[in-house]
Amino acid sequence: MQIGYQRRYDAGVAAAKAAVDAGELGRITTVRSTTLDPEPPSAEYIASSGGMYQDCGVHDFDIVRWITGQEAVEVYATGSNGGADFFREYGDVDTSAAIITFAGGALGVVSNTRYNGRGYDVRLEVHGSRDSVAAGIDDGWPIRSTEPGATHPAGPPHRFFMDRFQSAFRAEFETFLEVAAGKRPSPCTVADAAETDWIAEACALSATEHRPVLLEEVRSPHRRR
């Protein structure tokens, strides 16, 4: 079985992972992952989506865990609502942020929103003691620089996940065909998905109770304070 986290197959993200694994960045201090949607989905979708952390943030949680090669031990998450009323009605938020502490000491910073009028902004930054790298900083990056004379990014902003990740989806599907044919093991397993889901669950609990949450609390509910 191969879990569909397509960001692992994005060329820029894969290059960042290779740089981390090769030791080029030194000790990883911070990894930042961002998903900013240009507009929200429908109320019907939100009603059954599982919420911001399980639906949207889960892709960021997977990628920061994968990039660092470390397991999360604690999270603190918060969210807010300033848009459509249906988010609040379904107990969800339209904007969120989370800080993840990993076992090796790296800190993950994840930010999400359903309202980013300039476009679909998905990017990754990895900061280390020797170097830093970023993925998603291309001419389609939906941001406007206020630096005098700046011309980057020069292209039209990404507007949809298919134009941002078209090549990644193709690479993911090609990999799946190899997995199905028995030519290689699955690079994104059920165990990976479970660990990512624990992070999402911990973030949801943290946002609800306004406190840091240890991953062990959601893995073993009877241990909750």
Half-sphere exposure of 219 (CA within 13 A, CB side): 11
* Mean pLDDT for the chain overall: 95
pLDDT of 120 higher than 60: yes
pLDDT computed for residue 121 by the predictor:
97
What are the structure tokens assigned to 3, written together?
Answer: 């879990």
The verdict on residue 221 lying in a domain is: no
For 134, list phi and psi in degrees, rounded to 5: -145, 145
Residues 33-76: pLDDT tens digits?
A: 999 999 999 999 999 999 999 999 999 999 999 999 999 999 99
State the residue range of the domain holding 197.
6-216
The verdict on residue 136 lying in a domain is: yes
Q: What dihedral do alpha carbons 166, 168, 169, 170 form, nearest 10°?
A: 90
Label residue 225 by pLDDT band (50, 70, 90): very low
Decide: 69 and 20 in contact? Cβ < 8 Å: yes
CATH code of the domain covering residue 126: 3.30.360.10
CA–CA gap between residue 42 and residue 48 (Å, rounded): 11
CA–CA gap between residue 99 and residue 20 (Å, rounded): 20
The verdict on residue 158 lying in a domain is: yes
pLDDT computed for residue 222 by the predictor:
53
Q: Whose CA is closest to 121, among 143, 147, 98?
A: 143
The verdict on residue 88 lying in a domain is: yes
Label residue 221 by pLDDT band (50, 70, 90): low
Higher pLDDT, 221 or 120: 120
The verdict on residue 225 lying in a domain is: no
Q: How many residues does the chain have?
A: 225
CA–CA gap between residue 173 and residue 185 (Å, rounded): 14
For 136, list phi and psi in degrees, rounded to 5: 95, 5
How many structural domains compose the chain? 1
The verdict on residue 1 lying in a domain is: no
pLDDT of 22 higher than 80: yes
The verdict on residue 53 lying in a domain is: yes
pLDDT computed for residue 223 by the predictor:
52
Label residue 113 by pLDDT band (50, 70, 90): very high
Residues 126-144: what's their mean pLDDT? 97
The verdict on residue 167 lying in a domain is: yes
Residues 148-200: pLDDT tens digits?
A: 999 999 999 999 999 999 999 999 999 999 999 999 999 999 999 999 999 99
Residues 118-141: what's their mean pLDDT? 97
